[in-house]
Structure 1
């Protein structure tokens, strides 16, 4: 009887399968004298191996596509997400606000601008269509027909009509374009071709409020990325009858391509008139591409957790991240956790891409994105990021014998390293500044670097009133270096003009501190003369600075800046604080340990020499 040898079934690549088959057949006495590398038998073994390999691959893919985490095909991911009650987000058209002034040839009582009235704008040389999001009725004021902050949504309006046939169980009502903005979708059912009575249907968002006569529709993603509109079955929602005409109208958008559009013009007549002045109130923001497979896999389980409501801070954060584009990072905290507790409020902060503060339209988008989910007792409040500017004074030691690069090139590379660290490590709320991590990255910038000494200070600005005495709080939320009660200048400010209680005006004065008390002074030569001895307090342990009844006459720039030296080299943000670094706040001094020269050159961050001074040093150093 032939000896039975076990097949190695766990090895499923083609060559191993074929080799295992050869070993198996070769161990059988019936095939002892056969040459398994001969052409005929080799082909038969190839067929068996290919068949096994294909079946193994298909079964593996079948198992993988059955789970949300491992699925790769969009249709599989969408199907699994739907089981969690999640519908992938469609593309979203960017939104802008414009002020319109129409000059009619007559004097109508009012002018109606229809929904989807078209305007055009050009971004990067490509023209795009924007449409009014809603109809607008303008009545004249002093003979002028104008409307402010009219909302425009990017996209081309398209209408699709279907005739319902209840006998056709395979009938589907599809939005054929994969870039349809479902937020702009209107669904209307006309009774029949001869009966023009219509009913508007709304998207069902809460089935507990839906009954057999509710005019609602349901939305899901179909194959090829198209969206499908479904109606009720007569129990959950009204069921269409044969002969009903289904009318689907929406915008087809270009997603993120149109963000930043800021010049608009009417594509044709507006409200029936051709003389139209268009002034941009807010540039276009909020455009989104269709949700990616990875995003669906990430968001579907979290959507299941939130259950279409905003209760926890995590709920608010997810809704904003899903609904509003162009945001680098989002932070949410309850009013009870704010520096000054405000119960019944939830704070939402976000840093927009390419800017330090949110625009009015972005704040409106965030607020509107929460409107359908927010519970009644809680009021969301959108605030800008709280930026803390880090200032680096850096001495870098290097050996010029180990490089062919000029010191200015190495200094520029060091600055690039710092900016890369900011981008990769500080661009999200909650990101901690780690001194040792940055120092190590700087040392690795170039093989000629021997070490570095980084001196860190931090700066924040306020915009004080120059017409009224007010109180201000500047919070670093990190301890301030203050070694003793007699130490002066743990906090310093930029210059400002100030008039004291006696009416004397000082064109250049400053703020600093002594033993927890803030004061105002001016310089007479190198002497510090106090103008006001107590204008606030500073708490060194937590970095809180308070000014009371403070009113400068004027100050340079857009803000009055306060600078501190932190008590520790690592800085930890709270709530919506973000650490940021600009090239103008980086000073790099290159010190060549291979040289014994005596020339020190001071230069700007860009490497342009400002001045040259001579002194004695162990090695030549150049400041950039």
Structure 2
């Protein structure tokens, strides 16, 4: 039975009990009125069906729906990553110069850069330091009323630039955990979440799973804000930003890039967020399940073009001899088209740092690039031009 016939039947049954309306059953007026209502019903049914599809992560097409499904799974997309490189810092003055870690600089491209190491230089002394393209911004939030599951979301314009968040409550660092795993009511921990409104947020516990900030507590959010994919060539000067006592050193410090600062990455795209929320919720950013180190590395480090990871048995096949030093050792070799080997290896080392409790050792293996010759054989259609194919190759 069609929608129109269903509407006609229902409408006729409804007006059959009325002495006045029953006279119009079968009339052109009732037929067209039923047609009008049937079209409304069909349209609303289609809209409702489409809206229902948006509630399924596999069928959703709207960004907000996909992000809502990802939040349900507790998945937070990979954040923007800063470009990295090295700079040479020289004390050109006659006095000792000291700078704290994460000192801020600006380049001619008007982007902020951060010195990743503390500086302590005597006159005419130089030091090579790592530089990353991000600026440090701090926000304070005072808890007006203590409550369970306190959540603080950051504005959209900041969210798309956030690379890292450091949370301090009353000046004390709290720890980022995944869904409050392995916490109790005294654990000074928080989790991150991502709202469908494209806002990254921080959520605290309920004094059962993670401690809840009390009334009057001051929460400080230190945000590392990056512009993602940027390039600053070598031999470019960086200028210290006026930061109180450091301003006295501006005239006697020379900061010059010794390598190009490259290798940044944009935040994770929406289709990747969908797939990771569907198929990767088991990974909690702490361990590699069933020795799946490939997924663990690629999920946490952007721009990995090629990756190979192997264990004790494979290593002994390569060397041809058993070695007790291979026991519980994970060998890692990687390549990125966007980052230098030094930067990529450093990121991998940081990723696996602090996991000694898993009784595993992680060893980075130097990649050996070998030239090879490839032979291409093909067949052209009669309508094709051989010169075009040659140019493409």
TM-score, normalized by length of structure 1? 0.51
Q: 2:295 aligns with which of 299, 313, 318?
A: 318
Between the aligned partners of 2:312 and 2:48, the Cα distance in structure 1 is 53
Between the aligned partners of 2:313 and 2:179, the Cα distance in structure 1 is 30
Between the aligned partners of 1:99 and 1:117, the Cα distance in structure 2 is 15
Alignment: residue pair count: 368
Deviation per residue, 1:495-540 (Å, 9 max, x gap): xxxxxxxxxxxxxxxxxxxxxxxxxxxxxxxxxxxxxxxxxxxxxx
Q: Against the structure 1 CA distance between its residues 395 and 226, is the aligned structure 2 distance closer, same or farther, given a 3 Å change threshold?
A: closer
Of stretches 284-293 and 205-214 in structure 1, the one that deviates more from structure 2 is 205-214
Q: Against the structure 1 CA distance between its residues 83 and 380, is the aligned structure 2 distance closer, same or farther, given a 3 Å change threshold?
A: farther
Q: Against the structure 1 CA distance between its residues 385 and 85, is the aligned structure 2 distance closer, same or farther, given a 3 Å change threshold?
A: farther
Deviation per residue, 1:155-187 (Å, 9 max, x gap): 33322222202267896422222224242x222
Q: 1:353 aligns with which of 337, 347, 356?
A: 337
Aligned 1:19-418 pairs, distance under 5 A: 31-34=25-28, 41=32, 45-62=35-52, 64-105=53-94, 107-108=95-96, 111-120=98-107, 122=109, 127-133=110-116, 136-140=118-122, 143-148=123-128, 150-166=129-145, 172-176=151-155, 177-183=158-164, 185-190=165-170, 198-205=171-178, 207=180, 209-256=182-229, 258-259=230-231, 262=234, 263-268=236-241, 271=246, 272-274=248-250, 275-307=252-284, 308-310=286-288, 312-314=290-292, 316-338=293-315, 339-340=318-319, 342-353=326-337, 358-371=340-353, 375-384=358-367, 386-392=369-375, 410-416=386-392
Gapped runs of 5+ residues in structure 2? 17-21, 321-325
SS of structure 2 residue aligned to 1:217: strand
Aligned 1:423-572 pairs, distance under 5 A: none
Q: Against the structure 1 CA distance between its residues 121 and 67, is the aligned structure 2 distance closer, same or farther, given a 3 Å change threshold?
A: farther
Between the aligned partners of 2:258 and 2:341, the Cα distance in structure 1 is 11
Shift of 1:344: 3.3
SS of structure 2 residue aligned to 1:346: strand
Contact 1:93–1:154 (CA<8 Å) still a contact in 2? yes
Q: Against the structure 1 CA distance between its residues 47 and 206, is the aligned structure 2 distance closer, same or farther, given a 3 Å change threshold?
A: closer
SS of structure 1 residue aligned to 2:307: strand
Between the aligned partners of 2:55 and 2:312, the Cα distance in structure 1 is 42
Between the aligned partners of 2:111 and 2:375, the Cα distance in structure 1 is 44
Q: Against the structure 1 CA distance between its residues 208 and 251, is the aligned structure 2 distance closer, same or farther, given a 3 Å change threshold?
A: closer
Q: Against the structure 1 CA distance between its residues 36 and 281, is the aligned structure 2 distance closer, same or farther, given a 3 Å change threshold?
A: farther
- Bigger share in helix: 2
Contact 2:143–2:217 (CA<8 Å) still a contact in 1? yes
Root-mean-square deviation (Å): 3.8
Q: Against the structure 1 CA distance between its residues 80 and 204, is the aligned structure 2 distance closer, same or farther, given a 3 Å change threshold?
A: same
SS of structure 1 residue aligned to 2:202: strand
Shift of 1:47: 4.7
Contact 1:313–1:333 (CA<8 Å) still a contact in 2? no
Between the aligned partners of 2:351 and 2:310, the Cα distance in structure 1 is 17
Q: Against the structure 1 CA distance between its residues 95 and 372, is the aligned structure 2 distance closer, same or farther, given a 3 Å change threshold?
A: farther
Between the aligned partners of 2:194 and 2:233, the Cα distance in structure 1 is 29
Shift of 1:335: 4.1
Shift of 1:227: 1.4
Deviation per residue, 1:192-237 (Å, 9 max, x gap): xxxxxx3222213584553333322221112421111122222233
Deviation per residue, 1:69-92 (Å, 9 max, x gap): 223344443443344443222222
Higher Cα radius of gyration: 1
Contact 2:330–2:360 (CA<8 Å) still a contact in 1? no
Between the aligned partners of 1:251 and 1:241, the Cα distance in structure 2 is 26
Contact 1:188–1:247 (CA<8 Å) still a contact in 2? yes
Deviation per residue, 1:35-75 (Å, 9 max, x gap): 788xxx36x6345423442244224422x233332233444
Contact 1:163–1:245 (CA<8 Å) still a contact in 2? yes
Contact 2:74–2:193 (CA<8 Å) still a contact in 1? no
Contact 1:78–1:88 (CA<8 Å) still a contact in 2? no
Between the aligned partners of 1:156 and 1:395, the Cα distance in structure 2 is 51
Higher relative contact order (CA 8 A, sep 6+): 2
Contact 1:349–1:385 (CA<8 Å) still a contact in 2? no
SS of structure 2 residue aligned to 1:296: helix
Between the aligned partners of 2:379 and 2:42, the Cα distance in structure 1 is 62
1:490 is matched with none
Shift of 1:340: 1.9
TM-score, normalized by length of structure 2? 0.77
